[in-house]
Amino acid sequence: MIRPVFRFAPSPNGRLHLGHALSALLNADMARQAGGRLLIRIEDIDRARCTPELEAAMLADLAWLGLVWEEPVRRQSEHFSDYAAALDRLEAMGVLYRGYLTRGEIRQAVADFETREGTPFPRDPDGAPLYPGDAAVLAEQEIGMRAAAAAPFALRLDMGAALARLATPLTWRELGEDGQIARVAADPARWGDVVLARKDTPTSYHLSVVLDDALQGITHVVRGRDLFEATAVHRVLQMLLGLDEPVYRHHRLVLGEDGRKLSKSQGDTALSVLRAQGAEPKDIRALVGLA
Ligand code: GLU
């Protein structure tokens, strides 16, 4: 029998809070119940915000919570060449392009559109505007000049070309709380031409998460509901790159007192703060609604 493989994959750009605790504990509980393995993956591709100190603090918080995982942990920053190789493969398939618009130019193009048309610019499931496309904003000559001058660009997935190449409706398997697996229809077109790499970060969350889940043989991706829609993009990349499809479980989020998703800046739900106030791991389980 193949043992199920679970992973908790935090980004060390702040301290762990109750939302992370729920995710980590659910992974650990499910791995234990299934007789499976538990891995930790450090998603530290953002070299400006992730630090070794925050990583060490995160691992200490997880150990305090009672998590036991296999060593060594995989650190994404040590594998940039794997992501570059995948980008080369996607480039060879003709599903990548260089987008030269800066964040400011995108913002301006969106504002101009909304003023002109009086309707909101199309947005992705996270509420960010879709990429307008260089040709919609810049003169052809300007695009040529930027390319010639090796101006910074983002490598974007040409979603239309990718979906045409796959030419099949995409789905994923979602494991419900009742233990049943349902097929969910994926709608990746809603994300538009997502960024797969930037000059300052030569990969992206979408690309590295998909590659690492496959490389590490993850069978069960258990993560927050906030990443439910992103799974559509992950399925596209898995299909293009010929990677195995894990089962997904998108769990409820722990919400703050304002009813909003917790963020790392909300210090009062940081595990380290709760611990300093005398909380025990069992109190954390209770706080996140686990028995
Ligand atoms: N690194 C991501 C985060 O901290 C989680 C990625 C995932 O579980 O797919 O939000």
Q: In this predicted model, what pLDDT tens digit does every residue of 164-209 receive, in sequence order?
A: 999 899 999 999 999 999 999 999 999 999 999 998 899 999 999 9
pTM: 0.95
Rounded distance between C-alpha atoms, residue 172 and residue 246, angstroms: 8
Task: Using pLDDT thresholds of 50, 70 and 90, give the confidence band for residue 44.
Answer: very high
For residue 209, the ligand 1 atom closest to its alpha carbon is 9
Token look-up 């980008």 returns 87
Half-sphere exposure of 202 (CA within 13 A, CB side): 12
Q: Does domain 80-97+152-243 have CATH number 1.10.150.20?
A: no
Q: Which of 95-99, 183-187, 208-212, 253-257 shows the lowest mean pLDDT across its residues?
A: 253-257
For residue 23, the ligand 1 atom closest to its alpha carbon is 8
Q: Which of 32-46, 72-86, 163-177, 263-277 shows the lowest mean pLDDT across its residues?
A: 263-277
Say which DSSP state 189 is in: G
Token look-up 């101006």 returns 151
Report the residue among 6, 11, 221, 250 best suited for mutation to probe ligand 1: largest number of ligand atoms under 8 A from its CB: 11
| Token representation of residue 70 | 């296999």
List CB contacts of 42: < 8 A, sequence separation 6 or more: 9, 10, 11, 12, 50, 55, 58, 73, 74, 75, 76, 77
pLDDT score at 264: 63
Report the residue among 6, 39, 209 best suited for mutation to probe ligand 1: largest number of ligand atoms under 8 A from its CB: 209
* Per-domain residue ranges of the chain: 1-78+254-291, 80-97+152-243, 101-151
Rounded distance between C-alpha atoms, residue 218 and residue 220, angstroms: 6
Q: Which amino acid belongs to residue 137? A: V
Same topology between domain 1-78+254-291 and domain 80-97+152-243 = yes
Give the number of other Cβ atoms within 10 Å of residue 37's Cβ. Answer: 17
User: What fold is seen in the domain 1-78+254-291?
Assistant: Rossmann fold (3.40.50)
